Amino acid sequence: MPPLTTRARLWFAAMAAAAVVVALSSLLLGPPASADASVARADAASSLPACPFWASGITPPPRTVTPWVPPLQTASAVDFSSRPAAPTISGTLTNGQVTITVNPVPNAVAYKVWRDGVDVGYISYWGQTGPLTVTDTSPCQGAYYDVVAMYDTSNSDASLGQLSVPYWLGADGTLAPGAGDVAVGTQISMMVTSYDNTGQTASGLNAQLGVCATDPRVIPWGTYFTIPGYGTCYAADLGTWIQNDTVDVWLPGDQANNWGVQDRTVTVIADPYASGGGSPSPSASASASASASASATPSPSVSPSVSASASPSASASPSASTSPTPTPSPTSSGAATCSPAWDASTTYQTGAAVSYNGENYTATYLSTDAVPGAPTSWAVWKADTPCSS
Ordered by where they begin, the domains of the chain are 187-310 (2.40.40.10), 336-388 (2.10.10.20)
pLDDT of residue 310: 32
Beta 381-388 vs 336-337: how paired, if at all? parallel
Residue 37's contacts (CB-CB under 8 Å, 6 or more residues apart) are none
Of 327, 322, 356, the C-alpha closest to 339 is: 356
pLDDT of residue 377: 62
pLDDT of residue 251: 98
DSSP summary character for residue 158: G
Residue 286 near residue 228, CB atoms below 8 Å: no
DSSP code per residue over 92-157: EEETTEEEEEEE--TT--EEEEEETTEEEEEEE-SS--S-EEEEESS--BT-EEEEEEESSTT--G
pLDDT of residue 180: 79
- 84 residue type, one letter: P
pLDDT of residue 22: 44
Beta bridge partners of 90: 101
- 305 residue type, one letter: S
In angstroms, rounded to a whole number, what is the distance separating the alpha carbons of residues 283 and 281?
6
Strand, helix or coil for residue 31: coil
pLDDT of residue 15: 52
pLDDT of residue 309: 31
- Residue range 61-116, pLDDT digits in tens: 999 999 999 999 999 999 999 999 999 999 999 999 999 999 999 999 999 999 99
The residue ranges of the chain whose pLDDT is under 70 are 1-38, 40, 276-334, 365-366, 375-380
Longest Cα pair distance anywhere in the chain, in angstroms?
A: 110
Residue 18's contacts (CB-CB under 8 Å, 6 or more residues apart) are none
pLDDT of residue 188: 97
The H or E element containing residue 268 is strand 262-269
- Residue range 170-204, pLDDT digits in tens: 999 999 998 778 999 999 999 999 999 999 999 99
Of 357, 352, 358, 340, the C-alpha closest to 381 is: 352
Rg (CA), the chain: 28
E-only strand ranges, 333-376: 336-337, 347-348, 353-356, 359-363, 367-368
Give this prediction's pTM. 0.66
